[in-house]
Amino acid sequence: MRRRSEINRKNKGVPKIFHYAGTQTFADIRKAELTSKRVKFLDMYGSQVAIGIVMSTDPTKIVMGKPIGQDFCEVAVLLANKPDSPLFIKDHNSKTMKDAIGRHILWFLEYVYLFGASS
């Protein structure tokens, strides 16, 4: 039988992850921390293409004629760092980042980062 101090010593180096709301997933927590925040948008190669604000992560909301779903978020584009970068989701009005300035578009959550966060 192991003594409690041996078990505690062994588990001391194991990282513990605490979840502030037991029923939420980590993806839900990430979505909540991004909403209404200024963020940078990355392309699939990890390059920053724009700056904007996450407006919504509600999967039922319709943006650009499509529901947001679980993998996207609604963003407002403020500044295009790479104006000719293509959008992940295009519509008849917006095909590149320069077309999306001042509009709300869909962007993959995986490619949205808070300022100061490493990409």
**Mean pLDDT value of segment 13-36:** 60
Res 74 pLDDT > 80: yes
Determine contact, residues 77/50, Cβ cutoff 8 Å.
Answer: yes
Neighbouring C-beta atoms of residue 32, cutoff 10 Å: 13
The string of pLDDT tens digits covering residues 97-114 is 999 999 999 999 999 998
Structural tokens at position 92: 């008849």
What is the pLDDT, as a whole number, of residue 4? Answer: 54
CA angle 62–68–69, rounded 5-degree value: 130
What is the pLDDT, as a whole number, of residue 114? Answer: 87
Residues 6+ apart with CB under 8 A from 85: 43, 49, 50, 96, 97
Res 14 pLDDT > 50: no
What is the pLDDT, as a whole number, of residue 35? Answer: 85
Res 70 pLDDT > 80: yes
More confident residue, 90 or 1: 90
Res 32 pLDDT > 70: yes
Q: How far apart are CA 25 and CA 94, in angstroms?
A: 32
Domain assignments of the chain as residue spans, ordered by start: 36-119
